[in-house]
């Protein structure tokens, strides 16, 4: 029998909560899921169990959103961005700015390719990119 990973203690600092790559403890799981689906067009990946949701970007990368046991203790890292692959970065940028979402930087050619950066509702920095990169 394969050992199961330790449960994520989402009431601790982000660095201590990383049991699964790309696991983001969030303040309000339903709000976060709605935001990622509505603005980034991410699809549900698989059943993650109670108090968690999994979403897949266009590159097949899975992001796990985990309801924090103590929402006030969610502290996104300041020096780290999470990659999210989209179908069309420019169209996503137009749609999100039209909805009033402010970007850290608009789509541009960078060292990492054609990217943009935006914060999610919990303050995580997302590095958005599409197939041009």
Q: pLDDT confidence of 20, banded at 50, 70, 90?
A: low
DSSP assignment of the chain, as one string? -PPPPPPP-TTS-HHHH-SSTTEEEES-HHHHHHHHHHHH--EE-S---TTEEEEE-TT--EEEEEE-SSGGG----TT-EEEEE-S-HHHHHHHHHHTTPPEEEEEEEETTEEEEEEE-TT--EEEEE-TT-
Stretch 1-7: mean pLDDT = 37
Tokens 């985990």 map to which residue?
Answer: 66
Task: Parse the chain into domains and list their residue ranges.
Answer: 14-129
Average pLDDT of the chain, as a whole number: 82
Given a cut of 90, is residue 27 above it in pLDDT?
Answer: yes
Q: pLDDT confidence of 17, banded at 50, 70, 90?
A: very low
Q: Are 15 and 26 in contact (CB under 8 A)?
A: no
Between 30-34, 48-52, 64-68, 79-83, the lowest mean confidence (pLDDT) is in 48-52
What is the spatial distance between Cα 69 and Cα 26, in angstroms, rounded to a whole number?
Answer: 9
Whole-prediction pTM value?
Answer: 0.79
CATH of domain 14-129: 3.10.180.10
Q: What percent of the chain has pLDDT over 90?
A: 51
């Amino acid at each position: 029998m394969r050992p199961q990973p330790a449960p994520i203690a989402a009431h601790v600092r982000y660095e201590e909560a990383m049991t699964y790559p790309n696991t983001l403890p969030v303040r309000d799981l339903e709000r976060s899921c709605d935001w990622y689906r509505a603005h980034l067009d991410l699809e549900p990946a698989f059943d993650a169990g109670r108090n968690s949701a999994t979403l897949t970007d266009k590159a097949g990368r899975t992001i796990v959103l985990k309801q924090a046991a103590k929402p006030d203790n969610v502290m996104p890292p300041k020096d780290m961005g999470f990659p999210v692959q989209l179908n069309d970065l420019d169209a996503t940028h137009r749609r999100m700015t039209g909805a009033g979402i402010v970007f850290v930087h608009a789509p541009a050619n960078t060292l990492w390719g054609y990217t943009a950066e935006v914060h999610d509702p919990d303050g995580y920095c997302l590095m958005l990119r599409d197939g041009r990169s």
